[in-house]
Amino acid sequence: MAKLPVQREGDEIGTDTAQPAIQPPTSRREFLRSATLFTATVAGLGGGLELLTRRPSGAGAAGSSAAPLGRVKRPLGPYDTSEAVTPYAQATTYNNFYEFGLDKSDPAQNAGSLRTRPWTVRIDGEVRKPQTVDIDTLQSWFPLENRVYRMRCVEGWSMVMPWMGFALAALIRRVEPTGKANYVSFTSLHDPAQMPGQRSEVLQWPYTEGLRLDEALHPLTFMALGLDGRALPNQNGAPLRLVVPWKYGFKGIKSIVQITLTSERPATTWALAAPSEYGFYANVNPAVDHPRWSQATERRIGEFSRRQTLPFNGYAEQVAHLYKGLDLRRNF
Ligand code: MTE
């Protein structure tokens, strides 16, 4: 594993200069840059970093139209937060999607190269009805719901996102889990031709994530196909991504091509990359710091002062029972 770089200002502090002074963490971006160089050296490969940061000529910002959202007009449902929604322009230009680069602005610049039609999703493993389904067919199976969720990134920033999609539980029930299904594993597209970041070994590709089956069946766990009433922009994970609002944002795997029910706990990308820093559970927890920075507060994108981070990102009432008896310090 790569040596940690010297502490310097992290990108999770955002671009505001008027931030209250906090301990500046070493950003994951800096960490990854050092890891990339390390990998490139060990493997004898060159140019990984350049590949990640190079912008293809002529690729404009994908889907970054600007209308601010403010408050959602429709009546709020039982799963919605009433907090002000993050402006669309920010939610679609300040992204993490390492398949398209390490900087927050890279996905909006580079994800135009992702083709989201035709697109199929393979659903298999411990299910009675394994199948490969076209994304438009999959979409037609479920009435689309709106969910306004908080999203807290492990880096210390947060947003409020108006997703459209369907509950993951509906999809899982449709394929009929067997008695051996304990976990759900998710896999993103692996196609370096479309995803320039995958030409570098900055992470193990494809990006994978996982949930326990009971977490996956929780009514808050959501598959997003849209944002703010429009199709999901590529940089936000088109055409299909996972949203688990009580967990750190890295659990929200983008551009999913495979969902596999398993009996054993699946390997997940960030836990493989840095197991002492990113756990399988990744429940938002202000009491358990990241080894290199505090998780007690967060910067809501668009706000100046930092706010307190809430246990389970404010969804404790709905989900804390899932973790009864589990030591959350060890199972971070
Ligand atoms: N999914 C894939 N395939 N690749 C990624 O790099 N980044 C994760 C998650 N899903 C990521 C991913 C991280 S770290 C975060 S915080 C969220 O996506 C960011 O989602 P957003 O860009 O829509 O805000």
Instruction: Take atom 16 of ligand 1 and give the residue whose Cα is closest.
Output: 249
pLDDT given for residue 224 in this prediction: 98
Task: Answer yes or no: is 232 within a domain.
Answer: yes
Cβ of 313 less than 6 Å from ligand 1:
no
Is it the case that residue 20 has pLDDT exceeding 50? Answer: no
SS3 1: coil
pTM reported for the whole predicted model:
0.84
User: Mean pLDDT across the stretch 65-87?
Assistant: 78
Angstrom distance (rounded) from CA 137 to CA 124: 17
Query: At residue 289, what is the residue type?
Result: D
Angstrom distance (rounded) from CA 238 to CA 167: 17
Query: At residue 121, what is the residue type?
Result: V
CATH number of the domain within which 98 lies: 3.90.420.10
Task: Answer yes or no: is 124 within a domain.
Answer: yes
28-42, 122-136, 184-198: range with lowest mean pLDDT: 28-42
pLDDT given for residue 212 in this prediction: 98
Residue 320 CA to ligand 1 centre (angstroms): 24
Query: Which DSSP state fits 91?
Result: H
First to last CA, the chain: 20
Residue 252 CA to ligand 1 centre (angstroms): 6
Q: How many domains does the chain have?
A: 1
pLDDT given for residue 29 in this prediction: 66
Angstrom distance (rounded) from CA 162 to CA 224: 10
189-229 per-position pLDDT tens digit: 999 999 999 999 999 999 999 999 999 999 999 999 999 99
Q: Which domain holds residue 107?
A: 28-323
Joined together, the tokens standing for residue 256 give: 């999913």
Joined together, the tokens standing for residue 100 give: 């398209």
SS3 8: coil
Task: Answer yes or no: is 10 within a domain.
Answer: no
Angstrom distance (rounded) from CA 152 to CA 16: 18
DSSP strands (E only) in the chain: 120-125, 131-134, 145-152, 157-167, 183-188, 208-212, 222-227, 230-231, 241-243, 256-262, 297-300, 307-308
Residue 251 CA to ligand 1 centre (angstroms): 8
Angstrom distance (rounded) from CA 331 to CA 204: 22
- Report which ligand 1 atom has the smallest distance to the Cα of 207: 3
* Number of residues in the chain: 332
- Report which ligand 1 atom has the smallest distance to the Cα of 249: 16
SS3 15: coil
236-263 per-position pLDDT tens digit: 999 999 999 999 999 999 999 999 999 9
Task: Answer yes or no: is 108 within a domain.
Answer: yes
pLDDT given for residue 143 in this prediction: 93
Residue 155 CA to ligand 1 centre (angstroms): 12
Task: Answer yes or no: is 13 within a domain.
Answer: no
Integer angstrom CA distances of residue 23 from 9, 13, 27, 294, 296: 9, 10, 12, 8, 12
Angstrom distance (rounded) from CA 121 to CA 130: 11
Angstrom distance (rounded) from CA 77 to CA 173: 23
Task: Answer yes or no: is 142 within a domain.
Answer: yes
User: Mean pLDDT across the stretch 18-30?
Assistant: 47
Residue from 254, 258, 295 whose mutation best tests the ligand 1 pocket (most atoms within 8 A of CB): 254
Residues 6+ apart with CB under 8 A from 67: 88, 89
Q: How many CB atoms lie within 10 A of CB 3?
A: 9
Task: Answer yes or no: is 292 within a domain.
Answer: yes
88-126 per-position pLDDT tens digit: 999 999 999 999 999 999 999 999 999 999 999 999 999
Phi and psi at residue 160, to the nearest 5°: -120, 120
- Report which ligand 1 atom has the smallest distance to the Cα of 107: 22
Cβ of 188 less than 6 Å from ligand 1:
yes
- Report which ligand 1 atom has the smallest distance to the Cα of 97: 6
- Bin 302: left if φ > 0, else alpha if -120 < ψ < 50, else beta: left
Pairing of strands 120-125, 256-262: parallel
